[in-house]
Amino acid sequence: MAEWHEWQEADRRLTRRVAGWRAPLARRVLPAVRSAAEHTKLWWAAAAVMAAAGGLRGRTAAAAGLVGMGAAELVSNAVCKPLYERRRPPEDLIPHGDVHERPDSSSFPSGHTAAAVGFTVAAAGAWPGAAAACAVPAVIVGVERVHSGAHYPSDVAAGAAVGLAAGLLVRRTPRLLLRHAARTAQRW
């Protein structure tokens, strides 16, 4: 039990440290990322750019990314959050006055991070270069969620794990379906 309390205290200290960043770049970039990530606008825009600029590969990456994002959000918000109720970080951990209205839902895991990572990992199967470009804003989304006081770092890590699993599942699904179809055809 002592390890659990040590882990929680480390999570609180890291929250306070990230939320306390006062660098001018962070103060300009993170609010813009917060706005872009709301309602997954950032990932819909990335999918539109991929589809428009990348031909068949871009359309495939965009579709995979959107499916990965949706799967990650479903698992994060409809499965994980109801199973584990965790309060958002208290305002006394957030040293700036920019703590905006936060959702009433569980803090664990970060759905924004799950969606970002799910999109990026799934899209990487079809277009690794475009997905690598998406990795930068995906990381910034995770940082922003802690900086804004919406999540603890462990919530973001759990959201990233959910997104990774969803993205990898989406990448494997076509191969799994093809293998299943081939096995079924062999039986006939």
Q: Determine the length of the chain.
A: 188
CB-side neighbour CA atoms (13 Å) of 12: 11
| All structural domains of the chain with their residue ranges | 30-187
pLDDT in tens, the chain (188 residues): 668 778 888 888 888 888 777 777 777 777 777 777 787 888 999 999 999 998 988 988 999 999 999 999 999 999 988 898 888 887 777 776 666 666 677 879 999 999 999 999 999 998 999 989 999 999 989 988 888 888 889 999 999 999 999 999 998 887 665 455 556 545 55
CB atoms within 10 A of CB 3: 7
User: What is the C-alpha to C-alpha distance for residues 83 and 77, in angstroms, rounded to an integer?
Assistant: 10
User: What is the C-alpha to C-alpha distance for residues 94 and 5, in angstroms, rounded to an integer?
Assistant: 20
Helix, strand, coil % in the chain, rounded to nearest 5: 80, 0, 20
Question: Vertex 100, ends 13 and 38: CA angle to 5°?
Answer: 100
User: What is the C-alpha to C-alpha distance for residues 188 and 183, in angstroms, rounded to an integer?
Assistant: 9
Tell me what pLDDT residue 89 has.
84
